[in-house]
Structure 1
Amino acid sequence: MRYFLTLLVVLTTLAAQAAPPQLMLDVARFRNLDKVVKGAEVEIYVTVPTQPLTYRQRAPRSFQSSAVVTLDILKADGKPAYHEVITLKPPVLNDTSLAIKNPLSFLKRVLLPDGKYTLRGTVKDQYKSANGETTVEKPLVLEAPATGAFFSDVVLLARPAVRGASDDNFGRGGYRLTRAPGGNYGRGSENLFFYTELHNAPAGPALRVHYHLTTPDGSAADADGELTPQSGRPTTVVGQLPFGPLPDGPFTLFIEVYGGPGNKKLLAGHRAIGQRNTADYAPAGAPAAR
């Protein structure tokens, strides 16, 4: 039996390393607060799972992998708007048969004028010659919102937003944010956490915020709260909703804010789409790349 389990672990490890490297790109758009330069502040959250990477022996009982991520943002005419190359070095392992190897993540913030772009990310396994590269592309549209209140993109989090200043890119709006890579929630994730920013909301009485979590089969969960807009700057919106009996699979989170008489007039709304799979392990936020 022990031999069978050992063989199973070896085969699983070999299968993972035979697959091409993986790359997840999560993009959140926030409005640039600079009144002179109109545009958006784009957050690009990059996650590289280390399971498929090739591990090379450096010393007795010392193995390490290496990956290079290239990020490009291309304008509508194909000209470059942003380019950067980042080398990732996961922690050294003393046993490559370990079933769980935490992914590596990093976050970049790029200021761009409004327009249409293409975000392209490429990851290359440094120690694999064949089938060792993967490219992911996403359309990126930045446009000035219509007059009135509006939300920035909703960021899905693996943990509650923690209030406090942060010196790195993982801080925003006075909170430190631990993003859920790919909007994925795995085994042990009982709650959905989120962050967004509300702009141009009318000052005065508190507004009503409605949260609606739903799945394709019609299952849903709802909650309400109050929000007092901040004058002259975005109002942060943070919160959490329990998954409860909602089934595995894709889900959609809607956030809406209401004002006017009786707080019945819809002022702004936005949504985010995620995935829940309680059968698989998902780390509670990948560590920052070193």
Structure 2
Amino acid sequence: MRRFFFLLFAAFASLAGRAGTPQILLDVARFRNLNQVQKGAEVEIYVTVPTQSLTYRQRAPRSFQSAATVTLDVLKADGQPAYHEVITLKPPVLTDTTIAIKNPQSFLKRILLPDGKYTVRATVRDQYRKANGEATVEKPLVLEAPAGPFLADIVLLAQPAVRSGGADNFTRGGYRLTRTPDNAYARGADNIFFYTELHNAPAGQPLRVHYHLTTPDGSAADADAALTPQSGRPTPVVGQLPLGPLPEGPFTLFVEVYGGPNTKKLLAGHRAIGQRTPGEYAPAGAAPSR
């Protein structure tokens, strides 16, 4: 009888750690390659795997862990591979799989690609689940060199961009960036934070940056800031706007740069689309995978 209850407990523990189909979030941002010899772009690929969707296996008494692999591919327009890598994720060990909040696992890859059309594909495989243990997400990618002043892709952040003297995958333009996966802001988020870069700005000319946040129902928030272009290099543009007046659902952030007389001439603009879900939990920036 004691052995029966032990087997029943073991089976229950195994089922308790089993989740649904794994999930994967894919964010792609384009920045121009500063190498004048090899024209193209530096592409940032940010992948997040919510660990709630993974299966947890008991490794020892009160010790549970999940495991997954992510296959990352960049395909050219003709289907030929331009980049391929397999990354293994080992989330932290848990003592109880019934806890509702499990932090996601994220990693960031930076790759150089020549201008052209591509497809970015990310596939997650749950190592402890055979049936329905795989999910794939794809995003189109177009790389081209705009003429005149332009803004790089806007990166939405979970926390303010912080000045940093370090150099790793999570720093850009002298700032350390904590991305928000899938451009989503959940419970506890009062502001959105963002980063982009201005290229080919006219030297010695005062510029004004206008931020406009809007939703489908017409709710909006606006702000302005002065900008001093860096000579010969892209100029970082960082900012934040309050989420307070915005309802739940999608929002669009516009970043516009004005110059000329009275800084009224539009020089460059870009937009990013995000989502506000105050009823859901999300950590303030997923930790990088080890």
* TM tier, smaller: over 0.9
State the 1:19 CA deviation: 1.5
Residue deviations 1:14-35 (CA, integer Å, cap 9, x gap): 6994411000010000000011
Residue 183 of structure 1 is matched in structure 2 by 183
Residue 133 of structure 2 is matched in structure 1 by 132
Moved more, 14-23 or 129-138: 14-23
> In the comparison of the two structures, how many residue pairs are matched?
278
State the identity as a percent: 78
Which whole-Å CA distance do the structure 2 matches of 1:90 and 1:279 have between them? Answer: 25
Which whole-Å CA distance do the structure 1 matches of 2:287 and 2:215 have between them? Answer: 29
Contact 2:17 2:55 (C-alpha < 8 Å) held by counterparts: no
Amino acid at match of 2:125: K
Which whole-Å CA distance do the structure 1 matches of 2:230 and 2:187 have between them? Answer: 37
Residue 26 of structure 2 is matched in structure 1 by 25
- Secondary structure, counterpart of 1:257 in structure 2: strand
Contact 1:151 1:197 (C-alpha < 8 Å) held by counterparts: yes
- Secondary structure, counterpart of 1:51 in structure 2: helix
Contact 2:63 2:94 (C-alpha < 8 Å) held by counterparts: yes
Which whole-Å CA distance do the structure 1 matches of 2:106 and 2:130 have between them? Answer: 23
After TM superposition, the score normalised by the length of structure 2 is 0.94
After TM superposition, the score normalised by the length of structure 1 is 0.94
State the 1:94 CA deviation: 0.4
Task: Label 1:239 to 1:51 Cα distance change in 2 as closer, same or farther (>3 A).
Answer: same
The residue correspondences of 1:1-290 to structure 2 (distance < 5 A) are: 17-146=18-147, 148-290=148-290
Which whole-Å CA distance do the structure 2 matches of 1:276 and 1:16 have between them? Answer: 29
State the 1:203 CA deviation: 1.1
What's the C-alpha RMSD, in Å, of the aligned pairs? 1.4
- Secondary structure, counterpart of 2:52 in structure 1: coil
Which whole-Å CA distance do the structure 1 matches of 2:136 and 2:71 have between them? Answer: 9
State the 1:144 CA deviation: 1.0
Amino acid at match of 2:134: E
Query: Which ranges in structure 2 are unaligned for 5 or more consecutive residues?
Result: 1-11
Task: Label 1:56 to 1:116 Cα distance change in 2 as closer, same or farther (>3 A).
Answer: same
Residue deviations 1:158-214 (CA, integer Å, cap 9, x gap): 000010123320011101000000000000000000000000010113201100000
Which whole-Å CA distance do the structure 1 matches of 2:38 and 2:19 have between them? Answer: 47
Query: Which ranges in structure 1 are unaligned for 5 or more consecutive residues?
Result: 1-10
- Secondary structure, counterpart of 2:262 in structure 1: helix
